[in-house]
A and B are shown apart, each in its own frame.
Chain A
Amino acid sequence: MSILDYSEEQRMLKDSTRRLLESHCSFKQRCTHMTSPPGYSKAAWEQMVEVGITSLPFPEDCGGFGSPGVEVAAVMEEIGRATALEPYLASIVLGGSTIARGADAHHLQEFVPAIIAGSMHPALALYEPDHRYALKPMGTKAQAREEGWILNGAKTMVLGGDSATHFLIPAKATDTTLLCLVPASTHGVRVQGYQTVGDLGAADIILEDVPLSPSQVICSGDRAEDAVEYAFDVGVSALCAEAVGTMERLLELTRDYLDTRKQFGVAIGSFQALQHQAVDLLVELEQCRSLSQLAARAVSEQATGRRTAMCSAAKAYISRSARVFAQQAIQLHGGIALTDEYEGSHLARRLTLQSYALGDEDFHLQRYARQPALSGNNAWWD
């Protein structure tokens, strides 16, 4: 097998995901799904469950496939190509990985099968108002009571939050961090859903005196922080792969448009200025592909120190590249890419979401720089 490419089996997984999305989430179908509740296609989601891709990131002993890295990346590239709306990233990758990493055996058996079956949608509530990309809870607090806790606070930009059945809430207790699992229907939980720039659903959550039983705490302390950091890295790796898929599709559309659009009596793709700009996109795409593959492998192989470094390296690069890519693709098209009816504009919007979701360039450059530096003559992956 060649280094840092998909294997034969992974390619088959990718192809079958593409076929699934082509038949359920074509651009035309998708435009209908995004304007009617729940904001995605239930039929497509059921198909994803049916073919088993919802089991990919989970450990084998609770019904999963045990591959949160490369296999998930193969699926996410296809989701990115189709700009699919189904909550795979939110429920399976982010929510699912948080539980898979943080929960004890009892909770795993209770929740993971339901997540894989597509009936439980846990959304990881990472961000709080006025704390940008901080991964630790700042203002969300758990106050101990006789039995359990009372939760108060607010979370924002919770991916998949608009259609989630449960929220994973990191909260500050007196001297520790708790990771809490709160059903969306709990008294005191207010959810305001919205659509992100990439058309995926999200929500703001307000927690007002939310009662919490001890069994709703998934884990606490270092284990809670590790579960969030882990799920964040798995999510970053997946989102990078999604961006690669979106770029790949947008480059295809751009290339075809340059080849067919005629001005001054010739295809505009015959102009060298435009050819070179299109090649710039190709060069960027190849860099992003490489970093995405590297991050996915770091996640698959559970190499903790390198895991964070490789995921942040990939996302720092892709966060910048995704926006530049979208801008230049729009410019190469001209007016048509400014219209909502053109697929390319949806891809450009999705690239904007991918740029900002799960940490922007600055956040990840700093996170990368905090990891152990490349030492001596070692390669990055040594």
Chain B
Amino acid sequence: MSDLITHLMANPLAAVALTLAAYFAGERLFRAVRAPAWCPPILVAALLLAAALWLLGIDYADYHAGAGWLMLLLGPATVALGLPLYQQMGHIRALWRPLLLCLPIAAGMAALYAVGIAWLLGAPPEILASLAPKSVTAPIAIGITERLGGSVALMMGGLLVTGVAAIGCVGLVARWLDIRDERLLGLALGINGHALGTVRAFEIGPTAGAFASLGMSLTGIITALLLPLAWRLPGLIG
């Protein structure tokens, strides 16, 4: 049995098939159990996939080598995000002045707070580098973490936690500050909660959704451009 599995896993298509199967099974399970709103479908799918790998006794490194063929598509998919960004140009033009001021600060703070807190609690540099892009949409964040020398897997876990936390926090803080403007709610969700926040924003309304995807793309770009440069500043990692 284990020989057969080793033989199969030598073919990258086996890993691709496992991923696809877990993805669709996760989607079905997600709908069937009516998972709570804060639980992203991808978490269900990832849990299923992890369970399958563990049950079949497949080494994660072997799986990852095969699944790398699937992740090859992340490059073109990242480039593809340029299309929705282009379609947001109207909003960018209308609000460019406050966005220009606010976005670098907000995106910077999203990284700085987390890295600062983890650093104070004594986390090593590799963990800091994995937490820094926590508010950036996954395809862009992978590129950033690789540049900073962090762990992609930990960064992905951090991304999931952040997305879920951002949805809760935006609801809480908006009630506290009494903010109802959909543009602001959407931007805050997109800037802090990447794709998960954007999905939530579309539930609030189309305006919130549009502004969330705008916030998500711009945060990704600004963080991708500035974080690797900031990382080179001496003393930051101590």
Q: Does A pair with B? A: no
Chain A interface (Cβ < 8 Å from any Cβ of B):
none
Binding site for A on B (CB under 8 A): none
